[in-house]
Structure 1
Amino acid sequence: MTRQQASGTSADAPPLPAHSPEQAVRMRRVALASTVGTVVEFYDFFIFSTAAVLVFQKVFYAQLGGAAATASALATIGVAFVARPFGAILFGHFGDRVGRKKTLVTSMLLMGVATVCVGLAPTAATLGVAAPLLLVALRIAQGLAVGGEWAGALLMATEYAPPGKRGTFAMFPQLGPSLGLALSTATFLVTSLVMDDASFLSWGWRIPFLLSAVLVGVGLWVRLSLEETPVFRTQARRSRAPFLDLVRTQPRELALASGATVGVLAFFGTSATMLLNYGSNNLGLPRTPVLLAAIAGGVCFAVFTILGGLWSDRVGRRPLLLGSHVLAVASGLVLFPILDLATVPAFTIGLLLAFAVTGLGYAPLGAQLAEVFATRYRYTGSGLAYNIGGVVGAASAPLIGAVLLEHWGSLAVGGMLAVYAAVALLCLRRLGETGNRSLHTS
């Protein structure tokens, strides 16, 4: 296979002239909309996770006390991951039937409404046992929304991308989790620094959720300016039941693509939730340095996501993904010995390592998932594979890691991450190279 073939320059339908002013403006708009939209969605998603670690155990689950309150707050985070595959099927159905753009706008509206409602939600002191139930319902709505968001943003970028640039343009929506994490953590950091702990726990934690209304408005304005993707517009046939067509036609690819995502998502889920709790509660580090380390980790994640997207167009998806997962196996084994030095510099270095490994594999993984599935159920297939991987990787890894940490210590958690990466590595070997495939497949 030539380098040109590996980068996706095969028989795609011709776009507008590559160097025309119209095409340049259109691609800048696509890149902006893909990035802004997913940043807003994941900002909304992660402020909930940050609040669960810092606040919710005290204001929604305080009656449970101690470890039970912490476990309940973390389990509320995980509820969204269970909802995400159902969101992928629901929004995927309409994304494959009526279009990427309309479905993306709907998913963003759902996320924005749910997030603002969390900011307005009464606590257990006001509503009693109904308060955490309401919180869980809103978290499920967030999970459904982000389950439908990711694939649509990815396809908006890749189905517009010029030949040889699908990895690069798939990188833009993949910046959503890293920048969303950094932004949400920074918002909580600023909020907690400008008020005392009592005010923060009383009402200050609501501010990041209410600010979401402004960000969602910006995201909707950007997305509404886009046209439907050329791949979808020129599609020869459309599925009446995308999910059924997917499981009937490409069950092997769905299983392998889902397994291919668990490595980077396990690293990400563990880094974004469990490690923050580990730094504060197990290592005894102050909250402010832990949050600053998380912001630095989000920036590192973004930098390596950009590098991964660019490199995947040069060398192909498969070599970069295999190499990044080999690094992930090794990184899982050395991560906790670094963290357990229990200093702020060591904690920051460990967190940066975990996020760097995640980013390097995350961008090409997005392009690969878009390239695996046929057009008529691509929204459903790529979204479902990613979100099944989210349940198995991002949701389960912190919960399993907490049990391993309690009974066998931190080295067992690092070993768990290495196992996740090894499973993904095996699936990636079976999937093969996808960068040379056309997106114009019925």
Structure 2
Amino acid sequence: MSSRAAVDDLFRSCGWRVSMADSNGVPREVRRAVMASLVGSTLEWYDFFLYGTAAALVFNTLFFPTFDPLVGTIAAFGTNAAGFLARPLGGIVFGHFGDRIGRKSVLAVTLGIMGVATFLIGVLPSYATIGVWAPVLLVALRIVQGIAAGGEWGGGVLIVSEHAPDHRRGFYSAWSQTGVGLGFVLSASAYSLVHAVAGTESFLAWGWRILFMSGILLTAVGLLIRLRVMETPAFQQRTPEPERTRAPILDVVRSHPKSVLITFGARIAENGAIYVFLTFCLTYATKIGLNGGLVLAAVVVGMLFESFAMPVWGALSDRVGRRPVYMGGAIAMIVWAYPFFAMFDSRNPVLVFVAVFVAAVVCHGAMIGTQPALFTELFDSRVRYSGVAFGHELASMVAGGFSPIIATALLAWAGASWPISLFLIGMGVVTIIALAAAPETRAQALDEGGTPQESAAAAAARTA
């Protein structure tokens, strides 16, 4: 089956008729944009998520051997958090160039940077070889990964959403998020495969390096696909170069402050919850004596199903609106906060799978599947890359970077899951408040640019 036929079948499965071109000649280029975003995002997030697994199981012994094992693990997770702290910087830097020179060029750069940084981690000498320089260089490379990831998300979303027809933007743009989910599944599956083949001793000696070094080959494939897609119509039809804003991030803060806050608040529950549901749950499983392999399998299965549920949620938002679907996911997360841990406490394998499946596919899926279209429609094309990336990555730093640490601290303090459930509920409330302040943007035509004054007026109209 050709890649075109495969994509067509996936589109039809969600209820959309696919032809070579609609009356506006759109779908052919939309499909190409979807494939470029999907494949590129999968490979880039494979690199980013791979580090998190290695931080827990490899880096603590190879790069922090002088520490107590638990302290070494915390130090390794600290280097993982460095990637999240760097993401807003990536959003600002690459958002600036994405708004100035185009989405396509920046996406190629972010993918290339991520691939090279991942490869270099794979060949990085351990502490036993170069001493303290090993963890220093590891942190530096993780920061580079974080900067690339911060620039990737906004561009990966816009390359699809700005190509998509207004009435199908939710469905098409959600495929960019599918790449994030598949990147996680690919990294977890590759880790399990290499570990099973090499064995624990060989995996620690050299097996883990294969996973990181292979990233450069995957990057080359992603670049070939991404370079085939055309620049988005919204960028091509925007304001002439002499009238473009010199500092898009400053323009965003001045003319779209409410949109940035809505983006930040809406992201809190989605990003914070997923790292509790999918990362902290492994720590919680260890605490209660639940088999870690069972939980990891549940997480991989949940993320795999969620990856293909995202376009379904996006399609639903095209029918009933962005706010109802997104808010439904946040409310579902609040409702599921206590049952999730109760099912883990039962130690019943079926209930553990159900807990993760509902958390990923329903609670998180409804939010992340609607997110690309909603965030795109909150900003105009002059500053859209900067606005989307800044709000999104600022929340990633606050919620994604610290939620597992906060959850672990709450567990240590209380010795039970109830404060973590309250923490999830609190993040859900923040997101509901942000969505209550957001306008309904379904099927809204994208503003194609204009002067700074027109940009400010359009922003005010969007969030009125």
TM-score range, shorter chain: over 0.9
Note the alpha carbon deviations across 1:23-59, whole angstroms, 9 max, x for none. Answer: 4332221110111111111111000011112222222
| Unaligned segments of structure 2, at least 5 residues | 1-18, 450-464
The reply on whether 1:334 has 2:339 as its aligned counterpart is yes
Query: Shift of residue 271 of structure 1?
Result: 2.9
Compute the TM-score of the two structures, normalised by the length of structure 2: 0.88
Letter of the structure 1 residue corresponding to residue 438 of structure 2? L
What displacement does 1:414 show? 1.9
Secondary structure, aligned partner of 1:240: coil
Counterpart of 1:8 in structure 2 is none
Q: How does 1:98-247 map to 2 (within 5 A)?
A: 98-236=101-239, 237-247=243-253
Q: Is the 8 A contact 2:45 2:184 kept in 1?
A: yes
State the Cα distance separating 1:432 from its structure 2 match.
2.2
Q: CA–CA distance in 1 between the matches of 2:347 and 2:70?
A: 22
- Whether the 8 Å CA contact 1:35–1:173 is kept in 2: the answer is yes
Equivalent of 1:267, from 253, 265, 273? 273
Asked if 1:439 corresponds to 2:439, the answer is no
For the Cα contact (< 8 Å) 1:337–1:411, is it kept in 2? Answer: no
Quote the residue 2:372 is aligned against: 366
- Is residue 254 from structure 1 mapped to residue 257 from structure 2 by the alignment? no
Q: How far 1:17 sits from its partner (Å)?
A: 9.9
Report the Cα offset of residue 354 of structure 1. 2.0
2:419 equivalent to 1:412: yes
Contact 2:407 2:420 in 1 (8 A): yes
State the alpha-carbon separation in 2 of the partners of residues 222 and 412 from structure 1: 45
For the pair 1:298 / 2:296, whether they are aligned, the reply is no
Instruction: Trace 1:89-104 onto structure 2 (pairs within 5 A).
Output: 89-104=92-107
Which deviates the most, 391-400 or 341-350? Answer: 341-350
Counterpart position of 1:323: 328
1:431 alignment partner, SS class: coil
Q: Which amino acid aligns with 2:400?
A: A
User: For residues 162 and 106 of structure 2, what CA distance do their matches in structure 1 show?
Assistant: 15
1:13 matched residue in structure 2: none
Which runs of no fewer than 5 residues in structure 1 stay unpaired?
Answer: 1-15
Q: Residue 333 of structure 2 contacts residue 425 of structure 2 at CA under 8 Å; is this kept in 1?
A: yes
Corresponding residue number in structure 1 for 2:64: 61
2:38 and 2:176 in contact (8 A); partners too: yes
Q: Which range moved further: 145-154 or 22-31?
A: 22-31
The question of whether the paired residues in 1 share the 8 Å contact of 2:157 and 2:176 is answered with: yes
Correspondence for 1:6: none
Displacement, 1:250? 1.2
How far is 1:286 from its partner?
Answer: 4.0
| Residue identity opposite 2:325 in structure 1 | L
The AA in structure 2 aligned to 1:312 is S
Counterparts in 2 of 1:249 and 1:298: CA distance versus 1, 3 Å: same
Whether 1:396 and 2:399 are equivalent positions in the alignment is: no
- Structure ranking higher on relative contact order (CA contacts 8 Å, 6+ apart): 1
Residue range with higher mean Cα deviation, 196-205 or 375-384: 196-205
Asked if structure 2 preserves the Cα contact closer than 8 Å seen for 1:331 and 1:418, the reply is: no
Which residue is equivalent to 1:4?
Answer: none
3-state SS of the aligned residue for 1:340? helix
Please identify, of 245-254 and 63-72, the stretch whose mean Cα deviation from structure 2 is larger. 63-72
Percent of residue pairs bearing the same amino acid type? 36
User: Partner of 1:61: helix, strand, or coil?
Assistant: coil
Task: Select the residue among 78, 81, 105 that pairs with 2:81.
Answer: 78
Could you tell me which amino acid in structure 1 is paired with residue 401 of structure 2? A
For these two proteins, the number of residue pairs brought into alignment is: 426
TM-score (norm 1): 0.93
Q: Would the aligned equivalents of 2:166 and 2:444 in 1 still touch at CA under 8 Å?
A: no
Give distance in 2, aligned partners of 1:343 and 1:76: 34
**Mean Cα displacement is larger for which, 340-349 or 184-193?**
340-349
CA distance, structure 2, for counterparts of residue 440 and residue 261 of structure 1: 23
What secondary structure sits across from 1:225 in the alignment?
Answer: coil
Give the whole-Å Cα distance in 2 for the aligned partners of 1:282 and 1:350: 17
Q: State the partner residue of 1:376.
A: 382
Residue number in structure 1 paired with 2:50: 47
Choose which of 286, 289, 293 in structure 2 pairs with 1:288.
293
1:147-205 Cα distance to aligned partner (Å, 9 max, x none): 00110111110110013011011111111221111010000010111122111111111
Report the Cα distance in structure 2 between the residues aligned to 1:147 and 1:390, rounded to whole angstroms: 9
Matching residue's letter, 1:139:
R
Distance 2:369 2:27 in 1: 22
Give 4+ residue runs of structure 1 displaced > 4 Å after superposition: none
